[in-house]
Amino acid sequence: MAHILVAEDERDIRELINFTLMFAGHTVTLAANGEEALNQAKAANPKPDMIVMDVRMPRMTGYEACRQIRQLPSYQDTPIVFLTAKGQDDEVHQGLEAGATAYILKPFSPDDLTKRVAEILRKAGVAG
């Protein structure tokens, strides 16, 4: 299964995502904000197969973290997915411009999250 870096500032949601993805067989690394996600992405060995992050987080937004992660050579093709309640067209456009691969909207069911993650990983050519 895949290694997934998850950045979410709300602890309860972060733990729900962690449990859901681990139950599906993935290895999960957690970050509490965009800055932490960027630092973990830089330090990860091996690098995550996918990054899932919220948009609105303290210290660094998901948009900014996505832009900076996309500048790292080893993350050019890594799926970066925004998991957010911000689903308006302008928000989605801004996320895609920042380098996001996909959007998953909150609230989400664990089954839907598992299915979408598997679909995105499959499209990226990652066994998951």
Span 72-127, pLDDT tens digits = 999 999 999 999 887 788 888 899 999 999 999 999 999 999 999 999 999 999 86
**What's the pTM?**
0.95
Tell me which CATH homologous superfamily contains domain 3-122: Response regulator (3.40.50.2300)
Q: Give dist(CA 43, CA 76) in Å, integer.
A: 16
